[in-house]
Amino acid sequence: MILPLLPLSHVFLGLTAIAWKASARATLIAALIIDTVLLGVALSPAGHWLSEASVGGWVDAIGIRLALDSLARDLLLLTVLLELAVVIYIWRRHVLPTFVILLQFLIGSVMALVLSQDLFNIYVILELLTLVSFLLVAYDRQTLQIWASLKYLILASAGMSIFLLGVAVVYANVGSLGFAAIGQAVLADPQAGWIPLAAALLVAGVSVKAGILTFSLWLPDAHSTAPAAISALLSGLVIKMGVVVLIRLAAIFPLGLVLQILGAITGIGGAIYAMSSRDLKQMLAFHTLSQIGYLLIGMSAATHDAANGVLAYALAHGSFKALLFLAAGTVHDTTGSTDIDHMIHARHQIPLRTRAALLLGTLAIMGLPPFDGYIAKAPLLAAAHGWANQIILLLFGIGTAASFWKLLPLFRGPYRRVGEDSAWQSYVILALPIVLFLPIERALFGTAFSLPVMNGFIAVESLGVVGIGWLVYRIHRRIQARPPMSLFRLETATVAILVGFAAIYALLKFA
């Protein structure tokens, strides 16, 4: 029963921290040790028989089934990596026991979700993640944080209500909520009238949690105002839980065209808003939307190589985005602001290690070889068949590069040693997979994974995209065009979710 212990251990440690608040910090170390041991046993050759579990002894039709497939494996590894980095980051800071408790529940919920193989269990976990994330975003109790967390709670609750309607439609027609049973029912009668409705409800509902532009309009405010450690977890890990559910649904329902359209809108729209942002954390938040576009386009290709590329890019994004958010937190602590112009003017106050972390994260997210952003993106570029997907991915890359070119002056001198950067160990933890990503991914996916990475054309293409991004940045800086921010108001976002559901249903029903 190794698999249930992974999430349940965090619940137990969270309850322990509630009962004995003096031991709250000790639970952080205990959680890391338990996660490392349990995951090591589950992933070892001797632990292959532990890859599946049914909780409570119920039959598959109504029980809770857990499975450690490649998707769960990769996300669990990412979870432990980010957990370690965040624990090191907050260790020397003043941390209340309530933060430790909520962190344990967050990590436990993530582990439970990636292992889950039935819709209702996923619904319950997503609701728990919503509540915990809501409390963590507003942890410092600042006005902007409270409003951002309330908007997140309202929109996420609306999305989960839509998702629950989809669960009801599936159960009424299949009699089970397990993915295996649903897949068999869809294959048995692919033209059944309930399929487009159920798929549209499920996709629209979970898209609110998945960082998709027309649905997750709460994200820029929540990710940019939350404490740095929470922003790193939300962007690097939690937002991917919605993507995990979409990957599970895409294996059952015909979602190729829907994911392609949502991916294009999310990636290009997120990059446009990021280019116009002059605040580092807000820009990173918009790029969470943009980078989700890569995952959706890869999922729409529906090939084995594309699936490996999606998993690889999810891991890469988790490492470099967490690194950028943690470094942004240190910048705020040392300069008092994450306004990019202010940061550049006060760059001599930023510790050298923090600037190095920002530079490494920037190079990785721009997709420059040999860092993880390029290595993970190469299989997606190679697997994206058709001119439409190729153009979409190139536009993503250009938009990303154009956004981050504005940070270039930050990396110029003076390079004076100022103060002590207590977060540098976190930077090292996250930098390791960024610079050693190729051997890591070859170990996870096999030697065939590295073939697109060694493709000289893709490498030159990536360098060219960064160069074109510089030209776009220069042009955009002269034009000073800003997209409308009214899109992210609560009333607009609510309408967008309903319109998005109608559009997805129309595509599934009539396309």
Residue 418 has pLDDT above 60, yes or no: no
Structure tokens at 105: 């529940």
Structure tokens at 506: 């129309």
Give the whole-angstrom CA distance, residue 212 versus residue 295: 11
- The candidate with the shortest Cα–Cα distance to 399, out of 365, 355, 360, is 365
Confidence band for 226, pLDDT divided at 50, 70 and 90: very high
Mean pLDDT, residues 387-395 = 90
Residue 352 has pLDDT above 80, yes or no: yes
Residue 384 has pLDDT above 80, yes or no: no
- The candidate with the shortest Cα–Cα distance to 431, out of 287, 295, 263, 319, is 319
Please tell me the predicted confidence (pLDDT) of residue 421: 62
Confidence band for 232, pLDDT divided at 50, 70 and 90: very high
Instruction: Determine contact, residues 497/158, Cβ cutoff 8 Å.
Output: yes
244-261 confidence digits (pLDDT tens): 999 999 999 999 999 999
- The candidate with the shortest Cα–Cα distance to 75, out of 38, 107, 53, is 107
Please tell me the predicted confidence (pLDDT) of residue 47: 58
| CB neighbour list of residue 393: distance below 8 Å, 6 or more residues apart | 294, 297, 377, 380, 381, 384
Domain ranges of the chain: 1-115, 210-510
Structure tokens at 274: 């990021």
Residue 358 has pLDDT above 90, yes or no: yes
State phi, psi for 52 to the nearest 5 degrees: -140, 150
Please tell me the predicted confidence (pLDDT) of residue 46: 61
Structure tokens at 292: 């989700």
Confidence band for 380, pLDDT divided at 50, 70 and 90: confident
Confidence band for 193, pLDDT divided at 50, 70 and 90: very high
Residue 444 has pLDDT above 90, yes or no: no
In angstroms, the Cα distances linking 489 to 106, 272, 439 are 27, 18, 44
Residue 209 has pLDDT above 80, yes or no: yes
Instruction: Determine contact, residues 482/212, Cβ cutoff 8 Å.
Output: no
- How many CB atoms are closer than 10 A to CB 131? 15
Give the whole-angstrom CA distance, residue 20 versus residue 451: 52
Mean pLDDT, residues 349-377 = 92
- The candidate with the shortest Cα–Cα distance to 354, out of 374, 379, 335, 380, is 335
Confidence band for 383, pLDDT divided at 50, 70 and 90: confident
Long-range Cβ pairs for the range 184-193 (8 Å, 24+): 186/252, 186/253, 190/254
Mean pLDDT, residues 103-131 = 95
Residue 187 has pLDDT above 70, yes or no: yes
Instruction: Determine contact, residues 478/275, Cβ cutoff 8 Å.
Output: no
Instruction: Determine contact, residues 79/111, Cβ cutoff 8 Å.
Output: yes
Please tell me the predicted confidence (pLDDT) of residue 470: 96
CA angle 23, 135, 214 (to 5 degrees): 140
Give the mean pLDDT of the chain: 90
Write out 215-251 in H/E/C secondary structure: CCCCHHHHHHHCCHHHHHHHHHHHCHHHHHHHHHHHC
Mean pLDDT, residues 397-406 = 95
Confidence band for 154, pLDDT divided at 50, 70 and 90: very high
Please tell me the predicted confidence (pLDDT) of residue 349: 87
Please tell me the predicted confidence (pLDDT) of residue 343: 92
Mean pLDDT, residues 55-60 = 67
Residue 15 has pLDDT above 90, yes or no: no
Mean pLDDT, residues 455-465 = 88
Confidence band for 447, pLDDT divided at 50, 70 and 90: low
Please tell me the predicted confidence (pLDDT) of residue 448: 65
In angstroms, the Cα distances linking 58 to 5, 121, 171, 176 are 18, 13, 17, 12
Give the whole-angstrom CA distance, residue 139 versus residue 96: 10
Of the listed ranges 86-95, 400-409, 428-437, the one predicted with least confidence: 86-95
Residue 240 has pLDDT above 80, yes or no: yes
Please tell me the predicted confidence (pLDDT) of residue 57: 66
467-507 confidence digits (pLDDT tens): 999 999 999 988 877 888 888 999 999 999 999 999 999 99
Residue 415 has pLDDT above 80, yes or no: no
Please tell me the predicted confidence (pLDDT) of residue 133: 95
Of the listed ranges 85-99, 146-160, 258-272, 290-304, the one predicted with least confidence: 85-99
Confidence band for 50, pLDDT divided at 50, 70 and 90: low
